[in-house]
Amino acid sequence: MKIKGSVILLTGGSSGIGRAAAQLLVAKGAIVYITGRDSEKLQRTAKEIGAEPLLADMTSDEQLANALKHILDSSGRLDVLINNAGIGAFGPVDGLSRSDFREVFEVNVYGAGILGALCAAHFKEREEGHILNIGSSASVKGFKNGSVYSASKFALRALSQCWKDELRPYNVRVTHINPSEVTTAFYQEGRKEREEQPNKLRAEDMAHLILSCLELDDRGFIPEVSLWATNPF
Ligand SMILES: NC(=O)c1ccc[n+]([C@@H]2O[C@H](COP(=O)([O-])OP(=O)(O)OC[C@H]3O[C@@H](n4cnc5c(N)ncnc54)[C@H](OP(=O)(O)O)[C@@H]3O)[C@@H](O)[C@H]2O)c1
């Protein structure tokens, strides 16, 4: 796909992987709409990287529909959805609570699913489009204390696989991306950005992968890809 001039909706673009990906895509000439919940942080990031801010909580169907409507009214079309916004909850199996499942699934599964549905309708009509769902290494492998998060990312991977089969005949590509650990503010005390570490991925590494998936010639697409750090000791 030609990145220059393309119209991209990237959820959770105000920090971490989303911010780095938005910054790279803007630098390549795309019009990138980023979403988030924290208005001040979203506005600041958008200004810093040259993206368009759209305040939209993944837990609100109405806000998601309004976000897409705003893009179609302003830019006339959408080329790419990047479902990146995500949260975590971690703890032992005997401490599982319905509220933890609800909170995480509302964002990582239901929000991504509803936005995917809205965008899929637009992409089917245009017979063109690309959806990238940001999963996790937890999309393919469970781990100690990971019940809620891993279940949500397995579910997102299921959505990616179903959408791929359904949308491929409409020339719509679906890519599921699994990062391993990335040094962002994800699940950090006070949502503070982490220091870079030589044996962990940076948000910029994920941005590079996202760009590579999008830049591929339109006749092909990558259904699923994982990115690991090389020396995780
Ligand atoms: N970091 C890792 O090690 C890692 C590994 C594998 C996969 N991932 C996945 O990568 C994605 C991005 O994570 P990250 O590491 O970049 O984390 P991050 O720095 O915490 O960024 C998360 C982004 O999602 C937004 N967000 C969270 N809840 C939202 C909601 N309800 N509505 C709208 N926006 C919301 C945040 O905005 P606000 O601040 O406004 O809430 C923020 O922009 C997530 O899906 C995560 O599961 C991360």
The model's pLDDT over 203-212, given as tens digits with 9 standing for 90+, comes to: 999 999 999 9
Report residues of the chain scoring pLDDT below 70. 232-233
Let me know: does 217 contact 126? Beta carbons within 8 Å: no
Let me know: does 163 contact 212? Beta carbons within 8 Å: no
What does the alpha-carbon distance between residue 224 and residue 174 come to, in Å, rounded to a whole number?
Answer: 8
- Residues 7-227, CATH architecture: 3-Layer(aba) Sandwich (3.40)
Let me know: does 226 contact 175? Beta carbons within 8 Å: no
Does the CB atom of residue 16 touch ligand 1 within 6 A? Answer: yes
What are the catalytic residues?
149
Q: Please, which residues have CB within 8 angstroms of residue 88's CB and are 6 or more apart in sequence?
A: 104, 148, 149, 186, 187
What does the alpha-carbon distance between residue 155 and residue 187 come to, in Å, rounded to a whole number?
Answer: 20
Does the CB atom of residue 179 touch ligand 1 within 6 A? Answer: yes
Of ligand 1's listed atoms, the one at least distance from the Cα of 45 is 43
Does the CB atom of residue 85 touch ligand 1 within 6 A? Answer: yes
What pLDDT, in 10s, does the model give residues 97-151?
Answer: 999 999 999 999 999 999 999 999 999 999 999 999 999 999 999 999 999 999 9
Nearest residue CA, atom 46 of ligand 1?
Answer: 86
